[in-house]
């Protein structure tokens, strides 16, 4: 995985050293959720800022990236061990464990079955994904309150 920083505004990788703990935490959570990277790891390469011209600047850049991903790994591990995202995701998709939902999920429903379901029970109700709520929870792991 390329651990270089990227710019959402440019939709490209700038290949600079990253210090964005929030983005790195998202990456590390995905990696941990998928049981790691086999084979592989993080590529810590990165270009320096134009103004960085001292011999030690690349060293500081690599330290920045390593520290960022180390903190992100701790954040991701805590998120997973607390289980709040897994529990809420499971609750959000609970209907897929029901009779019709399970058939739909495993691909054994036809279009006619879906049509019959709607005729019998009506249109499915729109359910909020509560994205803003989960972003707040995520930020509490990335930026914990100090005691």
Global pTM reads: 0.72
CB 32 within 8 A of CB 82: no
User: Is pLDDT larger for residue 47 or for residue 92?
Assistant: 92
The percent of residues above 90 in pLDDT, for the chain, comes to 36
Query: Token pair of 74, please?
Result: 């701790």
Q: Where are the domains of the chain?
A: 1-82, 83-129
Least confident span in 13-17, 72-76, 86-90, 127-131: 13-17
Q: What is the DSSP letter of 43?
A: B
Beta pairing class for 5-7 and 12-16 = antiparallel
d(CA 77, CA 81): 6
pLDDT tens readout for residues 23-77: 899 999 999 999 988 888 887 776 666 676 777 877 788 888 899 999 999 999 9
DSSP string, 104-131: HHTT---HHHHHHHHHHH-SPPP----H
Give me the pLDDT at residue 8, please.
56
């Amino acid at each position: 995985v390329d651990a270089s920083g990227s710019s959402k505004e440019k939709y490209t990788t700038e290949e600079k050293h990253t210090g964005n703990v929030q983005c790195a935490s998202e990456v590390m959570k995905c990696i941990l959720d998928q049981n790691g990277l086999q084979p592989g790891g993080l590529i810590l390469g990165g270009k320096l800022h134009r103004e960085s011209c001292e011999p030690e600047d690349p060293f500081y850049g690599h330290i920045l990236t390593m520290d960022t991903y180390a903190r992100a790994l701790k954040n991701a591990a805590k998120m997973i061990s607390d289980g709040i995202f897994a529990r809420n995701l499971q609750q959000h998709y609970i209907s897929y464990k029901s009779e019709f939902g399970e058939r739909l999920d495993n691909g054994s429903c036809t279009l006619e079955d879906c049509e019959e379901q709607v005729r019998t029970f009506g249109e499915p109700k729109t359910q909020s994904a509560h994205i803003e709520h989960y972003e707040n929870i995520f930020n509490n792991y990335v930026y914990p309150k100090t005691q």
